[in-house]
Amino acid sequence: MGKADFLSPKAIGNRIKAKGLQKLRWYCQMCQKQCRDENGFKCHCLSESHQRQLLLASDNPNQFMDYFSNEFKSDFLELLRRRFGTKRVHSNIIYNEYISNREHVHMNSTQWETLTDFTKWLGREGLCKVDETPKGWYIQYIDRDPETIRRQEELERKKKQDLDDEERSAKFIEEQVRRGRKGKEPEEEPVFTELKRENEEEKVAFNLAAGSVSSGPAKPSTSVGANALKTAASVKRKDTSLGAESKEKRKKSALDEIMEMEEKKKKTVRPDNWIRPNIVVKVITKRLGDKYYKKKAVIREVQDKYTAFVKLIDSGDKLKLDQSHLETVIPAPGKRVVIVNGPYRDVEAILECIDEKKFSAQLIIDSGTLKGKRVHGIPYEDFSKQA
């Protein structure tokens, strides 16, 4: 058995020494060879294979550097995405896990000299969110996967709908309580006073037959008692009739009040969704890059009330966007618009003039039964240019 055989002590020792990380100064990225000491690295640099690799790299050095830089960036971001997701983490922690792989691309073969330069570059390119603290640089991965973005938008939309439902139910309960308090008349609290008599020796007598109370000596009187009973009965009938009338008036007033409130609600209801086909909108999200930011498009189709299929006017590209990523477009005076929200929703009109101080416009309705009517104070977000 020779010294360099597979199971020889020397071969086993060499494998043990080669296991794990070695010094970066004795690593050749071109040949992807790790040397254990300075002498081995010097011998490798003088070898014929290394000289051939240097000749190939000298012909086009930028190509090799770009290749190594792209490999380093893609492996680094893939580790960050799989290991930490969108959590905020220190850049040194990610780098230490990255270099634990012996087959990784070393940073000294890329266009970045230090980890700080690489971290800043990730922030400038918009691949990650970076921030500097006294403890060092922290990094947070930005997930641009369309499926992840769609899932996040659905969660945000569901959360918004839940909040809206809670607010509506709370307002409804508050309105019911207020209406119940308003319908009841305030009850007068009884006032208790001390019983005082002018003459202490005078006796108090009760005439039960007449139904009246008198102070002084008891005097029998049948005619006065009968008259008192008739008077009390007539007063009671009047009180009952007046009470019935007042209750009927209260019922009518409460019913009228409810009808008026319902009419007001109909006038002031503003649905959450405003997008509709055949209107011109503007893309306001930066997630798609500068290519589509602030570009005008036409809505071709609306799905699930909040999702729009748009076609860009300039390039003709077709996109699927949420209504939160779009805004209305205000044309020049005299152009046709469509009212997308408010009491005149889905009505076509002509833009007459714009009030820049109040961020509103004056429109002339050009369709339906209200054709020719001039409406004032329509907010910018309630109408958009007609396609």
377-387: b (≥16 Cβ within 10 Å) or e: ebebebbbbbb
CATH architecture classification, 280-385? Roll (2.30)
Own/partner pairs for 344-353, CB < 8 Å, 24+ apart?
Answer: 344/370, 344/375, 344/378, 345/271, 346/276, 348/386, 349/375, 349/383, 351/383
pLDDT at position 3 is 55
Expressed in percent and rounded to 5, the helix, strand and coil fractions of the chain are: 45, 20, 35
For residue 361, what pLDDT is reported?
92
Show pLDDT as tens, one digit a residue, over the chain (387 residues).
455 677 788 887 777 666 655 666 677 777 777 777 778 888 888 888 887 777 777 777 777 778 888 888 888 988 888 888 888 999 899 888 888 777 778 787 788 888 899 999 988 888 889 998 988 899 988 887 777 777 777 888 887 777 777 787 888 888 888 887 776 555 566 666 666 666 666 666 666 654 444 444 444 444 445 455 455 555 555 555 555 555 555 555 666 776 676 666 555 567 888 999 999 999 998 888 888 889 999 999 998 888 999 999 988 888 889 898 999 999 999 999 999 988 888 899 999 999 888 889 999 998 888 888 899 888 988 999 998
**Structure pTM?**
0.34
Token pair of 367, please?
Answer: 């369709």
DSSP label of 20: S
**3-state DSSP call for residue 325?**
helix
Alpha-carbon span 162 to 156, nearest angstrom:
10
- Phi and psi at 315, nearest 5°, equal -95, -20
For tokens 């071969």, the residue is 11
Give the per-residue pLDDT at 64.
Answer: 74
Specify burial of residue 133 (Cβ count, 10 A radius: 0-12, 13-18, 19+).
exposed
Label residues 296-320 b or e (16+ Cβ within 10 Å = b).
ebbbeeeeeebbbebebeeeeeebe
Residue 139's Cβ-count burial label (10 Å; 0-12, 13-18, 19+) is buried
pLDDT value, residue 350: 93
> So what's the pLDDT on residue 108?
73
40 CB-near residues (< 8 Å, 6+ apart): 26
Strands (DSSP E) along 41-141, which ranges? 88-90, 128-133, 136-141
Rounded to 10 deg, the angle between the 91-98 and 61-84 helix axes is: 110
Helix 222-268 vs helix 146-183: crossing angle, to nearest 10: 160
What does the chain come to in residues? 387
- Residue 27 is inside which H or E element, if any? strand 27-28
pLDDT at residue 300 in the model: 92
Q: Which helix (H) or strand (E) holds 122?
A: helix 115-124
Whole-angstrom distance, CA of residue 254 vs CA of residue 366: 39
Query: What per-residue confidence (pLDDT) applies to 201?
Result: 62
Other C-beta atoms closer than 10 Å to the C-beta of 44 total: 17
pLDDT (0 to 100) of residue 221 = 45
